Structure 1
């Protein structure tokens, strides 16, 4: 039984129907799409298709001699597509050549903008394309999920190192920074700042007012320090400033005085004024000291200097007693 062109188009969208004299009678719709819809009917099949393996075929008898064998072919049009092929007799002395992309179907679909409608409904290529699309969608979903997870991890890590009330670093962040700087042999100054008269604000104005004062003080410290410096809230009204590379006593004294002066300015809370001050203890890390100090020892020296400032009247700064009078940095 001879099949109509419509039937062949449905069963083999990439077929070539060739008459006994070698002329192209019909081209399947998908194959025609690859040929950019250039009509090839009436032309000799060798002007359309090159059969070069298992051996060259330039006539219909030569082509039929390869019936049932796997062919390697190449379109001669602009597409220059390399295709797999199978030839069968058509019963009228001619031949039907069915072509396919083989394992290159995925690349061919992208290159030639093909869809599932360009393949026979029974073609396994459709299932393969669905699998490829499903895999691509799954990989994209996985990448999106990974990006979200990484973002969430970064946010969580950032929160774990941040004081929720002031937005400053917290004690954990300070501990990590101190360990890293000491381990790396870095020179730096550590300022331990404690607010004076803060308890009175909480007792008389309430904790909401106290929270507002803490946020204002945090903002002042950020404004007067460098972006590379670390400012951390380590207790209720206690703060630590780590100033990397800075060990000049004059500059540090000036910074401490400016911090105290700004913090002493009245802070408005709901139309009322709150006033606090600050005492500051200053210690230096000595990377050339023997033995090297630990973070705890450095904090203890800054703490001792802080309470020395408080004993001498508050609202002032003091250097650790173990620091030399002059620094070379």
Structure 2
């Protein structure tokens, strides 16, 4: 067995640039779809000093199986898949690669917003079926419309800047953000529901905001609102969203995150023409892959007090 400290990656790979930073460690991969039992076994076998979280959840039993564990580093910006209470109880740091995938996720949110407003998927299908709907179809013009941004971290602000450049009025809510840039008007969450033509979610999932988009909040929205979610699926009560789509309150929704991932094959989202769906790949680009890997590696080195060898 290696005498070098072990880093466990809950995935099948890591960017070469990140591995170069971790050259003083041995890296163990858990595979593409690690389950709790797999990770417990690997922790008991290898006793890692750090875990880089790409896929799956890091639960209290996994943390308990790692006697030498000192830091859990998320390969991304959201740490809701990590049992922070269990980690903090052991004095284990939980760190995120904040901002590393901001460009990628913000661009995905813009793409979903545009796909919804401009009927991109529907018109593509119609064209391939031999139809020419120029005389009958009208899309939504976003210039002059109001977009409500929930969550004003690196991703939310980047999305907001793009929307502002499209001449949209940008309003934003984030109880933890101070001094947002001038192109964002800070408002209450109630104002987000009442004023927005488009609502884009960019906040982490917490106990307080679980199901924040629900029957009540959707009822406060304008008729014909567009909902975009590139955050976490748990932010939306999916049954309420489907009802709002059926009754016309929500005209379209673009979703990159779901309550269960992947959704079950019989999920009612599938086949609904008012939904544009992508498989939680907002942060999955070649550039973001490198940025997140490097950031997660640097977070580990900093937490362990180690100077990078390259």
Please classify the TM superposition score into its range, dividing by the shorter chain length. Answer: under 0.3
Q: TM-score, normalised by structure 1?
A: 0.20
Higher RCO (CA < 8 A, seq sep 6+): 2
Q: TM-score, normalised by structure 2?
A: 0.21
Q: Say which structure is richer in helix.
A: 1
